[in-house]
Structures are given as C-alpha cells and as structure tokens.
Amino acid sequence: MLHPRIESLDRDDMKALQARKLAALGERLAASPEWCDHFAKVGMHPRDLAAADGLANAPTLEKSDLRARYPFPMLTVDVSRVTRFFATSGTTGLPVLFGFTHKDLHQLLAVQVARQLYCIGVRPGERAYQGYGYGLWIGGPAHDLGLQELGVTCFPVGPGRAELVVQWLRDQAWDAATLSPLFLAHLIRVARERGIDPKKDWVLRNAIIGGQSVSRAFREQLEAEMPAGFRAYNTYGTTESGGPNVGTSCPYSHGRDEMHLINEDTVITEILDPETFKPVGPGEVGEIVVSTLDKEASPVVRWRTRDLVRISGKPYDCECGRRGMPTIGRIIGRSDDMLKVRGVLVFPSQVEDVIAATPGTVKEAWQIYVDTVDGSPTSMTVAIECDAGYDGAPSNLADAVARSLASRLGLKVPIECHPQGTLPRYEAKARRVLVKEQP
C-alpha cells in the first residue's frame, strides 16, 4: 500500500473520516449561492451534510442541473483560481466543464492516481507508456500526474501512433502501461503484423485499463497474448468524480474481476437503486453515485454516473489488507443503455460476454442496432466481425453467436457477420448501441 495509514482503515474508521470531511464540505458549499439553491430544492442546506443522515437525504446531481448553470456550473472558486478545465466526452450538446485548482491536480488527483498505480504493482523507477487521450479529456493528464507523483518515468504518447508504440515497448523495455483495453488489443495486433511477438519481445508486467468496461473473457485473452505474468487491471472513474480515481483492482480482487473503491477517503461512492435511491446490499446491482470530499473547484455531491455495478457478495476485508475499501464488480452497463426488448432486459455487456467467448469473432468490433417506435425498442440486431483467420463459414459463426445469445438472454437475436476491419473502432468510450427510429 502506498498510504497504509488510510488504506488499511477498517470500515468504521473510514466512515468517521468521511463524516468529518462531509461536515467541512458542507461549510465550503454554504458559501456558494448555487449550492445553497440546489440543496434548497429538497428543503436542505449544505451544512446539513454534517448530520449523520445528511448525505443520504441530500439531492442528487445530474447533467441537467449543471447545464442550467452554463458556462461554469457550481464552480465554488473564482475562474482565475482554476488551473485547468476538463470535460466529459458528451455525446449530445456542449461539453460540461469541470475546474481543477493547482491543489486539485497536484495534491489530490496526482495522489489518488499514484495510489492506484501502486496498488496494481507499479513501482518508482519503472518506465510507463501513457496511452490515454489528452485535451479536454482527463484520462491522459490524470495518469501523467499519477506517474510523476509515484516517481515513474512517463512516455506520454497517448492513443494512436501504434507502430511507434509497439517498437518502443520492445526497444525501451517499458514496465507498465495506462491505456484503454481496446487500444491494447489493437497494439497486440499491430505488433504481430510487424513481426514483434508481445509475449517474447515486450517486458510489460502491469497495465491499468479503463475508459470502457470489457468482459472478463476479453481481458483474459489479452493477458494470454502478453508476457508471462502480465496483468491488465480494471480501473474506473469519471470527470465528475475528479478523474480516474474511483475503483481499481488489487492483485487479489483482480482474479474475482472486482475493484476496490480505492479512494474512499477523498471520494465517497454510494451504490444506489436507480429508482428508490436507497443503498443496495452485497451482491446486488445499483448505480454508482459519487461525492467529492476534498475537491476545491467543481465539487460534486451525489453525482449520478448512470453506471451500474454489482457490489461484491463479500465487500470488505480483502486479502490485500484493505479492510474498509469495499469491492465492486466491473461496470455492467449504463442505466440509460439498459435495453428492454420485447419485455427482456438486455445489457450490452452481456452481448459482449457472448461475443468475447465465441472463437472466431473479433473481440473489439461489434455493434447493437436497435429499431424503435416512439422511443421504445421493438427489435435488435447484433453485428459482429469474422476474424480473417477463422476457417469456417461466416454463417456458422453467426449461428454460434445467435445460439449463445439466445441461451444467455432468453431472446432470439439476428446476427450480421461482417469481414474483419469493417465495423467502427473506438479509442475511448465505445458507442455500442445505435438506435434507428422508425417513421
């Protein structure tokens, strides 16, 4: 552990630390008229966060609340004190900006990300390829800060330039990588094409993979194509939580496909029923709702991420020694991506699981097409790619996927099988569900 005094706290001590910080947060928000208005919607005042049930009763926050306060929503500090703005890659409308002060970047985000990197086994003095994107997106800059904080030598190439990256992974003997799982799959493919064998020619030991959730089968296949002992650890976070700072697998939880809520001392994560907003219990599925405790600019209280996860059946007391930082599964879908087709609930992640587990498919290339009438899905089609090396007929592959999907979902779904390289590729968040509105 990089911060054993915090990371080994038991659940009660962690709760007590959060309660102290919530009271201080309430004091800070009380100075902001926007935050006072927001709490007043439910008859509360920000100082009520000091009460034992203050957070549980506080109003949730979502994009519409922020859009209504354009251009610098609920900022809490003067714009001149903001060092840098980030924004989410919104698919509709203008991006919503989140400010970060110097302290937010260098004393908070850097430390949060360094803790995660240490948790997965990255150590000072190592060399790391930074492969997340830059610009308004927080992924790249956040990992630069974390690597620097930990004392790791950073090669900030970002996503893209794959031919250079596969060669430098060999020639510069990089130990660690921070990148999206789809880009890692792409790098492995490009390496092979150029006569580089990742298994023998690279020494990469650890990767922290985020930006999108991939199935366990996909992740295990990536690991099998890499040097012996290589692990690709899941990570999760959002711009609103202050960066890629919410969840990370440890070497023990990795095997269970679970992540610790690794920064519980600075980001409170509630897993709530998306309809009742009551906490769900161990083993149950709920929406991730985050509150930032230490952030100076653009703090959030009960931000609805819309991301759904299952809390571990045994969330506390991991073998790694973290006792009060509960474990959650990987993201299983978005509450607004959840499809109800002919009365059956479908998560895109279930479709991905089936495709990843079927030999002959291209794991990173698939789409769901949905036909809707008045916004309600009436039918869905799944498009897959047939790997160039598959020796059967494409129709056989389509049949195999259709059979597995039918047994997994209880729904007959038509499968379109395309040649390798013809479906869209995504570097960051993939848009797996494309909707067609019928006239």
By beta-carbon proximity to Zn ion, the closer residue of 119 and 401 is: 119
3-state secondary structure the chain: CCCHHHHCCCHHHHHHHHHHHHHHHHHHHCCCHHHHHHHHCCCCCHHHHHCCCHHHHCCCECHHHHHCCCCCCCCCCCHHHCCEEEECCCCCCCCCEEEECHHHHHHHHHHHHHHHHHHCCCCCCCEEEECCCCCCCCHHHHHHHHHHHHCCEEECCCCCCHHHHHHHHHHCCCCEEEECHHHHHHHHHHHHHCCCCHHHHCCCCEEEECCCCCCHHHHHHHHHCCCCCCEEEEEEEECCCCEEEEEECCCCHHHHCEEEECCCCCEEEEEECCCCCCECCCCCEEEEEEEECCCCCCCCCCEEEEEEEEECCCCCCCCCCCCCCCEEECCCEECCCCEEECCEEECHHHHHHHHHCCCCEEEEEEEEEEEEECCEEEEEEEEEEECCCCCCCHHHHHHHHHHHHHHHHCCCCCEEEEECCCCCCCCCCCCCEEEEECC
Ramachandran bin of 371, using left for φ above 0, alpha for ψ from -120 to 50, beta for the remaining angles: beta
Q: Minimum CB separation from Zn ion for residue 11, in Å?
A: 14
Q: At 386, which amino acid appears?
A: C
Among the listed ranges 28-36, 177-185, 311-319, 344-352, the one in contact with Zn ion (CB under 5 A) is 311-319
Q: Minimum CB separation from Zn ion for residue 319, in Å?
A: 6
By beta-carbon proximity to Zn ion, the closer residue of 310 and 322 is: 322
Q: Minimum CB separation from Zn ion for residue 15, in Å?
A: 19
Among the listed ranges 12-20, 222-230, 315-323, 370-378, the one in contact with Zn ion (CB under 5 A) is 315-323
Among the listed ranges 268-276, 320-328, 380-388, 415-423, the one in contact with Zn ion (CB under 5 A) is 320-328
By beta-carbon proximity to Zn ion, the closer residue of 255 and 392 is: 255
Name which position in 134, 155, 168, 252 contacts Zn ion (CB under 5 A): 252
Name which position in 217, 320, 400, 411 contacts Zn ion (CB under 5 A): 320
Q: Minimum CB separation from Zn ion for residue 230, in Å?
A: 19
Site track 52-71 with Zn ion (rule: CB under 5 A), x = hit:
--------------------
By beta-carbon proximity to Zn ion, the closer residue of 262 and 430 is: 262
Q: How far apart are CA 146 and CA 118, in angstroms?
A: 10
Residues 232-251 that bind Zn ion (CB under 5 A): 250
By beta-carbon proximity to Zn ion, the closer residue of 120 and 397 is: 120
Q: Minimum CB separation from Zn ion for residue 251, in Å?
A: 7
Q: Minimum CB separation from Zn ion for residue 118, in Å?
A: 13
By beta-carbon proximity to Zn ion, the closer residue of 6 and 138 is: 6
By beta-carbon proximity to Zn ion, the closer residue of 113 and 300 is: 113
Q: Minimum CB separation from Zn ion for residue 322, in Å?
A: 5
Q: Minimum CB separation from Zn ion for residue 327, in Å?
A: 7
Only one residue has tokens 């209880």, namely 410
By beta-carbon proximity to Zn ion, the closer residue of 9 and 82 is: 9
Query: Does 162 engage in binding with Zn ion (CB under 5 A)?
Result: no
Nearest to 212 by CA among 381, 330, 317, 379: 330
By beta-carbon proximity to Zn ion, the closer residue of 139 and 247 is: 247
Q: Under rule CB under 5 A, how many of the chain's residues touch Zn ion?
A: 6
Name which position in 44, 209, 318, 409 contacts Zn ion (CB under 5 A): 318
Query: Does 316 engage in binding with Zn ion (CB under 5 A)?
Result: no
Residues that bind Zn ion (CB under 5 A): 250, 252-253, 318, 320, 322
